Amino acid sequence: MAERRVTIGWAEGLHARPASIFVRAATAAGVPITIAKGDGTPVNAASMLAVLGLGAQGGEEVVLASDADDAEVALDRLAKLVAEGLEELPETV
């Protein structure tokens, strides 16, 4: 299983707009991805309710993971999005 540990770069954490941006990017990744707060229980990264339910705050660590064979690039792109608090998914890593 591939994973990326990343600190949330959005000051407000994964709430409202940042969560929406993240969920859209996770859905567009085309591979199943989970997100967990620290070492907590992973949830579906493509589910808005699940991501909001994490209650992840800015500066906290989350773990992005996938067991798909071609998940490395998708995880790198999502990790960059979360770490830098970007407003849209970067085109390149």
Selecting among 2, 9, 15, 76, the annotated active-site residue is 15
Q: What is the rounded end-to-end Cα distance, in angstroms, of the chain?
A: 20
Cα distance between residue 66 and residue 2, in whole Å: 6
The candidate with the shortest Cα–Cα distance to 45, out of 12, 23, 15, is: 23
Residue 39 appears among annotated catalytic residues: no
Could you give the residue numbers annotated as active site?
A: 15
